[in-house]
Structure 1
Amino acid sequence: MPVQADTLIAGATIITLDDERRVIRNGAVAFAGDRIVGVGALADLSGIAAREVIDGRGFVLTPGFVNGHVHITETLIRGLIPEALPFEEELGEWVIPLYKSMTAREQAVGAQLAVAAMLRTGTTTFLEAGTILALDEVAEAIAPSGIRARLGRWSEDRVWEPGADGAALTGAAVEALAADLARHPDDGRRIVAWPNLIGHMTATDALWQAAATMAQKTRTGICAHMSPVGDDAAWYLAHSGRRPIAHLAQLGVLSPAVNLVHMVHVDSDEVALVAASGASVTHCPGAAIRCGYGTTRHGLFPEMARAGVNIALGTDGADNHDMMRVMTLMAGLFKDAREDRSLFPAQEVLAMATLGGAKAAGLAGEVGALVPGMKADIVAHDIRRPEWQPVNDPVNQLVWSADGRGVHSVWVDGRRVVNGFACTLLNEAALYDEGQALANDIRRRHDAARSHVVPMA
């Protein structure tokens, strides 16, 4: 009996990311419902009967990218924060006040803008950074877009103010995370909540342990920022006598469910602990360069890869949500830093942006490759563009020559969410108008608030 499919994309070049890393020219991908039912040479899929046949000539097909770390509600403050601020001043006087001043509607619209940017550049799944304040409103706002997401609220409980009730802070944080997981469970839906933590030194041991227990019971995961700069290590050494990852290992919270983000200022012992635990690491090379973290000087990402650490890639803040630009950076940074051209070849970097991200998101075997039985998350790159021509090595050119502006179509769960370089389920024109109006309001409020701030000495 012929295999039945809803859609067959025929004649494309297919970068499968399967176990053999096949690249199939004049190939085809077929999917029924939300699953892929056939991948191979076009001639070999002649037994598939599809209701819709799409001419794939002139396109390269890839799996959907997985953005391992993104702050989706930052988009409305894009370009607002000065570049040359010290790290502490940027966070304390700009990022955190701006975050906490945003209304639920402003967060929701910012998230929709971030999702539009991700979908239109080929990202089909993302792990949010754990910095949403209005989680329910954001989840509701992005669900119609068709994207797949793991969201997290702003969670911390460290006592910074004298006299604050630490136990009450921890209890409130744990209660809020548990409520999120109950309202947005990981039961097969696309938009789910995770017990994410801000990380750094903001979570007590009790909150880390509670989040780890929640993740285990709900089969979700935890994302947390750690060691972008040396301050995290200095704080942990001063307060626990151990470096951050050694302290988390001592607590027993490291596991394959944990995704540690940035991880620039770590030592070889911490790399070994991460490798032994099975935890993932998400590197955000664009953010690292912009913020001056020293990733090429201090980063041990080649050592992590050799130790078997699963490495994912992320875009981080509001500046850029194009994973293809991130891949280009990752492919080049350590070649230059170590003067070793063998480091992080294009095929390996593409795997980080797909399979590595899928594993960090708890979706290994579900997304990240074009393989029968896996989710129909597919990106069609238009190669009839000058940056692609001529096509000699599709993987190499995807990473080094192209960017997300060449993404013509995107399917998530077999549903076409981008077509003809535009989102099909979002009103982009109305979204841009509302986003600009809300950004203007935020900027006016922030300018007024800063007029009463005494400049730092």
Structure 2
Amino acid sequence: MQADTLITGATLVTMDARRRVIRDGAVAFAGDTIVAVGKAAELAGIDARTVIDGSRFLLTPGFVNAHVHVTETLIRGFVPGDLPFDETLGRWVIPLYKDHSPAEQAVAARLAVAAMLRTGTTSFIEAGTIIAFDEVMAAIAGTGIRARIGRWTEDRAWDPAADAEALTREASAALERDLAAYPQDGRRIAAWPNLIGHMTATDALWRQATALARRTGTGISAHMSPVADDAAWYLAETGRRPVEHLADLGVLGPHLNLVHMVHIDAREAALVAASGTRVTFCPDASLRSGYGAMRHGLFPEMAEAGVTIALGTDGADNHDMMRVMALMASLFRDAREDRSLFPAHAALEMATVNGARVMGLADTIGALAVGMKADVVAHDLARPEWVPLNNPVEQLVASADGRGVHSVWVDGVRVVEDQRCTLIDEAALQAEGQAMAEAILARSGLPLVSEWPVE
């Protein structure tokens, strides 16, 4: 057998059907596809153009970040963390977001991609809040990452004088154009008809986006019920809770990824499970925002009912999926006083195979197995958190984080080597991002809120 790359002598956490963990293992890939996985001795006869000594590495599949706002990066740390949810969005996040120029959104997205690649994320679903859509698509096209991208899409006419039907037509037409321009045809980065969610989309747009997703084989990702306000609005306007209303519209199903889903009831959880609708939870964002997930969230019940739960990082504060996994493997154990909830291996499944299902790529990514895409992460074992190496899965989730990622391959291309992106000039990008961030904050007129003086 011939291969382009053979990594040998490594510890492998395969996430394959048997969930094998292989000591002194090897993985070989040709082009963009894994062609062999097993013990190093079994793959010794492979003729590879590049052979890498993997004895200092633990290899995993690339992580899937199932919910991330890639164009929020330039306002990282500026939005106060102690304000009410509505004020945070209305006065800070949305105005700052919409004030970005296309060039600023593009740089913000590249910064987010660099941060994800550097910490082992090889695929992501964007949160549906990109304004400069074409510019962002162009900006991340050469980074090597895999993605499903959605534009800022809403159509509810909050102003009574607005032409409600025109808003829906324009929103639907934009989604159609995006999918025609960036189809899901095997390319790494493609468009999805994502919706902002909450209560921002009319019933007509929900139905039209769903029909588009089903016709094109894409998915839809939408925010729902991080706080109780979504449920209160739907109850007041429709007499039903959000997921009940979506079920009545006929838009639930495996194509749909509902994000956050903290303030739902047992009936909504049952509808999600029965319909095959996917759920993405963002533990870090939930804790920082005070959503009350530990008190109200039915994630253990949804998991027990067979719901596919993936993980996301959400906003700009953190792009490290390993930190998110660690939280997922801890929070509900404490809240429910039940150590059996979401152990390390379950959190790792959420960040790999479950994320792949949400992306509609379960037969393509999420595992180190023959025939899968060569999306591989090499974690550096020559670090304190890995010594001694006893239980690779437990230590990956409980002890390590993304700072220990040494190298990353996507589609067989090495996009991170020795902790640096190979396809992104990080120094130039960071300098450009800093200057743009200072310009955005200066023209916003908003104050820097700090308990301590910043001189």
Bucket of the pairwise TM-score, normalised by the shorter protein: over 0.9
Instruction: Using the TM superposition, give the Cα deviation of residue 376 of structure 1 relative to its aligned residue in structure 2, in angstroms.
Output: 0.2
Alignment equivalent of 1:103, drawn from 101, 104, 129: 101
Instruction: Using the TM superposition, give the Cα deviation of residue 449 of structure 1 relative to its aligned residue in structure 2, in angstroms.
Output: 10
- Distance in 1 between residues matched to 2:125 and 2:104, nearest whole Å: 20
Q: 1:278 corresponds to which letter in structure 2?
A: G
Q: Which residue number corresponds to residue 323 of structure 1? A: 321
| 1:145 maps onto 2:140 in alignment | no
- Distance in 1 between residues matched to 2:37 and 2:56, nearest whole Å: 18
Instruction: Using the TM superposition, give the Cα deviation of residue 47 of structure 1 relative to its aligned residue in structure 2, in angstroms.
Output: 3.0
Superimposed CA distance per residue, residues 403-446 of structure 1 (whole angstroms, 9 cap, x where no aligned partner): 00000000000000000000000000000000000000001011
Superimposed CA distance per residue, residues 343-399 of structure 1 (whole angstroms, 9 cap, x where no aligned partner): 001011100000010001111110000000000000000010001111000000000
Q: 2:431 corresponds to which letter in structure 1?
A: D
| 1:69 maps onto 2:71 in alignment | no
Q: Which residue number corresponds to residue 232 of structure 1? A: 230
Stretches of structure 2 that go unaligned for 5 or more consecutive residues are 449-455
Instruction: Using the TM superposition, give the Cα deviation of residue 46 of structure 1 relative to its aligned residue in structure 2, in angstroms.
Output: 2.4
- Distance in 2 between residues matched to 1:46 and 1:78, nearest whole Å: 47
- Distance in 2 between residues matched to 1:42 and 1:229, nearest whole Å: 50
Q: Which residue number corresponds to residue 114 of structure 1? A: 112
Q: 1:34 corresponds to which letter in structure 2?
A: D
Alignment equivalent of 1:80, drawn from 78, 81, 86: 78
Superimposed CA distance per residue, residues 45-68 of structure 1 (whole angstroms, 9 cap, x where no aligned partner): 123211110000011000000000
- Distance in 2 between residues matched to 1:41 and 1:154, nearest whole Å: 47
Q: Which residue number corresponds to residue 57 of structure 1? A: 55
> 1:449 and 1:349, CA in 2 relative to 1: closer, same or farther beyond 3 A?
closer
Normalising to structure 2: TM-score of the pair? Answer: 0.98
Alignment equivalent of 1:391, drawn from 380, 383, 389: 389
Q: How does 1:127-206 map to 2 (within 5 A)?
A: 127-206=125-204
Q: Which residue number corresponds to residue 451 of structure 2? A: none
SS of the residue aligned with 2:212? helix
Alignment equivalent of 1:94, drawn from 92, 95, 102: 92
- Distance in 1 between residues matched to 2:46 and 2:297, nearest whole Å: 48
Superimposed CA distance per residue, residues 303-361 of structure 1 (whole angstroms, 9 cap, x where no aligned partner): 01000000000000000000000000000000000000010010111000000100011
Q: Which residue number corresponds to residue 429 of structure 1? A: 427
- Distance in 2 between residues matched to 1:123 and 1:414, nearest whole Å: 14
Superimposed CA distance per residue, residues 56-105 of structure 1 (whole angstroms, 9 cap, x where no aligned partner): 00110000000000000000000110111110000000111011100000
- Distance in 2 between residues matched to 1:45 and 1:345, nearest whole Å: 32
Q: 2:78 corresponds to which letter in structure 1?
A: L
| 1:418 maps onto 2:395 in alignment | no
Normalising to structure 1: TM-score of the pair? Answer: 0.97
Q: 1:235 corresponds to which letter in structure 2?
A: W
Superimposed CA distance per residue, residues 118-152 of structure 1 (whole angstroms, 9 cap, x where no aligned partner): 00000000000000001110010011110000000
- Distance in 1 between residues matched to 2:56 and 2:44, nearest whole Å: 20
- Distance in 2 between residues matched to 1:47 and 1:186, nearest whole Å: 37
Q: 1:121 corresponds to which letter in structure 2?
A: T
Q: Which residue number corresponds to residue 358 of structure 1? A: 356
Q: Which residue number corresponds to residue 268 of structure 1? A: 266
- Distance in 2 between residues matched to 1:89 and 1:427, nearest whole Å: 37
Q: Which residue number corresponds to residue 452 of structure 2? A: none
Q: Which residue number corresponds to residue 246 of structure 1? A: 244
Q: Which residue number corresponds to residue 28 of structure 1? A: 26
- Distance in 2 between residues matched to 1:383 and 1:214, nearest whole Å: 45
Say what the alpha-carbon RMSD is for the aligned residues.
Answer: 0.9
SS of the residue aligned with 1:437? helix
Alignment equivalent of 2:439, drawn from 438, 441, 444: 441
Alignment equivalent of 2:280, drawn from 279, 282, 299: 282
- Distance in 2 between residues matched to 1:264 and 1:293, nearest whole Å: 7
Instruction: Using the TM superposition, give the Cα deviation of residue 219 of structure 1 relative to its aligned residue in structure 2, in angstroms.
Output: 0.6
- Distance in 2 between residues matched to 1:78 and 1:99, nearest whole Å: 11
- Distance in 1 between residues matched to 2:45 and 2:156, nearest whole Å: 61
Q: 1:389 corresponds to which letter in structure 2?
A: V
- Distance in 2 between residues matched to 1:428 and 1:278, nearest whole Å: 40
Aligned length: 448
Instruction: Using the TM superposition, give the Cα deviation of residue 242 of structure 1 relative to its aligned residue in structure 2, in angstroms.
Output: 0.7
Q: Which residue number corresponds to residue 455 of structure 1? A: none
Q: 2:17 corresponds to which letter in structure 1?
A: D
- Distance in 2 between residues matched to 1:328 and 1:449, nearest whole Å: 34
- Distance in 2 between residues matched to 1:337 and 1:449, nearest whole Å: 36
- Distance in 2 between residues matched to 1:68 and 1:24, nearest whole Å: 27
Instruction: Using the TM superposition, give the Cα deviation of residue 448 of structure 1 relative to its aligned residue in structure 2, in angstroms.
Output: 6.4
- Distance in 2 between residues matched to 1:27 and 1:361, nearest whole Å: 28
Q: 1:199 corresponds to which letter in structure 2?
A: G
SS of the residue aligned with 1:154? coil
> 1:100 and 1:251, CA in 2 relative to 1: closer, same or farther beyond 3 A?
same
Q: Which residue number corresponds to residue 334 of structure 1? A: 332
Q: Percent identity?
A: 69
Superimposed CA distance per residue, residues 247-270 of structure 1 (whole angstroms, 9 cap, x where no aligned partner): 101100011000000000001111
- Distance in 1 between residues matched to 2:241 and 2:162, nearest whole Å: 26
